[in-house]
C-alpha cells in the first residue's frame, strides 16, 4: 500500500488593521513585481489583503525551502496556476492559496498537486439558478432533494469542492464545472471526472465547515482510497520573525 499523502493546511484570519511597523515588515518579503502591484492599489482594504496573502504564502513556503521569503521565485503556469520555481535537485513543493473576506487558506504538499477553496457562508446566492448552470445533473438532483437548510450547506460544499478541483488540476475554467461530479456518500466527498482523457477518474477531496462561518474544501490529485493526512496550522502576520526586529 502506498505511503499516506500529507497535506499541510494553513489558515489565516485577517486582522482588521495592520500596524505600520508590521506593514513594513510584510512588504519587505515581496519581490519587486509584487511591491509595484501592492502600491498600485487605491483602496486600503485591497492593499492590506494583497499584502497579507502574498506575505502569508512567502513566509509559509520559506519554512519548507530553508530560504528567505523574499528569495522565493513564484511564477505561474500556462493556465495561471502559481508555481514555486525550484532547482532540479530540490524536492517538489506543491501549493495553492484561496482567500475570501477575512480569511485565507494555503495548502502545501510534497507528494501531489493540491487545490483549496474557502468561501464565506454569509452570502445568499441564487442556489438553484447557479446549480442548474454549473453543476452536473446528478449534483442538481441530489441538491434539490434536500431540505432548505441542508441545501444551503450542500451548495457551498459543492461549490468549494468544485473550485478546489479546478485549482488542483491547474486548468481553470477550461474544464466545465458540470463535466465532473462531487459525491458525498462516504465519510469524505469524492470527485468523479466524466470521460477524462485517460478514462473516468476519481480524485480525493476533503471538506469542512469552519466554525459555521466558512466552507473549506481541499483536493489532492490522488486516488480517493489513498490515505490523506491533513495537518491544520494557523498563521498570523505576527509570526514573521522580522517583526520582533522592528518592534
Domain boundaries, the chain: 5-246
Q: What is the mean pLDDT of residues 151-157?
A: 94
Residue 231, phi-psi category: left (phi > 0), alpha (psi -120 to 50), beta (remainder): beta
CA dihedral over 217, 223, 227, 233, signed as positive or negative: negative
Q: What backbone phi and psi angles, to 5 degrees, belong to 50?
A: -60, -45
Dist. CA 41–CA 194, nearest whole Å: 41
The fold for domain 5-246 equals: Ribosomal Protein L22; Chain A (3.90.470)
Which cell numbers in the block locate residue 131? Answer: 446549480
Of the pLDDT bands very low, low, confident and very high (cuts 50, 70, 90), residue 245 is very low
Q: What percent of the chain has pLDDT over 70?
A: 91
pLDDT at 202 over 80: no
Residue 194: predicted pLDDT = 66
Per the CB < 8 A criterion, the answer to whether 123 and 153 are in contact is no
pLDDT at 199 over 50: no
CA dihedral over 81, 26, 209, 108, signed as positive or negative: positive
DSSP states along 23-48: HHHHHTTS-HHHHHHHHH--SHHHHH
Residue 125: predicted pLDDT = 85
Beta bridge partners of 95: 108
Residue 43: predicted pLDDT = 94
Where would I find the H helices in 145-247? 148-169, 241-246
pLDDT at 56 over 90: yes
- Helices 137-144 + 127-134 axis angle, to 10: 160
Is 83 in a helix, a strand, or coil? strand
Beta bridge partners of 104: 12, 99
Spell out where 92-243 has E strands.
94-100, 103-109, 114-120, 180-183, 190-193, 201-210, 214-220, 228-235
pLDDT at 146 over 80: yes
1-19 confidence digits (pLDDT tens): 578 899 999 999 998 888 8
Q: What backbone phi and psi angles, to 5 degrees, belong to 58?
A: -70, -45
Amino acid at each position: 500500500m502506498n505511503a499516506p499523502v500529507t497535506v499541510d493546511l494553513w489558515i489565516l484570519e485577517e486582522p482588521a488593521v495592520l500596524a505600520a511597523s508590521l506593514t513594513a515588515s510584510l512588504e519587505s518579503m515581496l519581490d519587486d513585481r509584487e511591491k509595484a502591484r501592492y502600491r498600485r492599489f487605491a483602496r486600503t482594504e485591497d492593499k492590506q489583503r494583497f499584502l497579507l496573502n502574498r506575505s502569508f504564502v512567502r513566509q509559509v513556503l520559506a519554512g519548507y525551502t530553508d530560504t528567505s521569503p523574499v528569495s522565493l521565485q513564484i511564477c505561474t503556469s500556462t493556465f495561471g496556476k502559481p508555481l514555486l520555481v525550484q532547482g532540479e535537485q530540490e524536492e517538489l513543493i506543491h501549493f495553492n492559496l484561496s482567500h475570501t473576506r477575512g480569511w485565507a487558506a494555503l495548502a502545501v504538499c510534497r507528494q501531489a498537486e493540491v487545490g483549496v477553496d474557502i468561501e464565506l457562508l454569509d452570502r445568499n446566492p441564487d442556489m438553484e439558478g447557479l446549480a442548474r448552470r454549473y453543476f452536473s445533473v446528478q449534483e442538481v438532483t441530489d441538491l434539490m432533494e434536500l431540505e432548505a437548510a441542508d441545501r444551503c450547506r450542500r451548495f457551498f460544499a459543492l461549490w468549494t469542492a468544485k473550485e478546489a478541483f479546478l485549482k488542483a488540476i491547474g486548468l481553470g475554467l477550461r474544464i466545465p464545472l458540470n463535466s465532473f461530479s462531487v459525491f458525498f456518500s462516504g465519510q469524505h466527498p469524492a470527485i468523479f471526472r466524466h470521460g477524462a482523457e485517460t478514462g473516468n477518474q476519481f480524485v480525493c477531496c476533503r471538506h469542512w465547515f469552519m466554525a459555521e462561518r466558512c466552507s473549506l474544501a481541499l483536493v489532492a490529485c490522488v486516488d480517493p482510497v489513498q490515505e490523506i493526512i491533513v495537518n491544520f496550522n494557523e498563521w498570523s502576520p505576527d509570526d514573521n520573525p522580522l517583526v520582533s526586529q522592528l518592534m
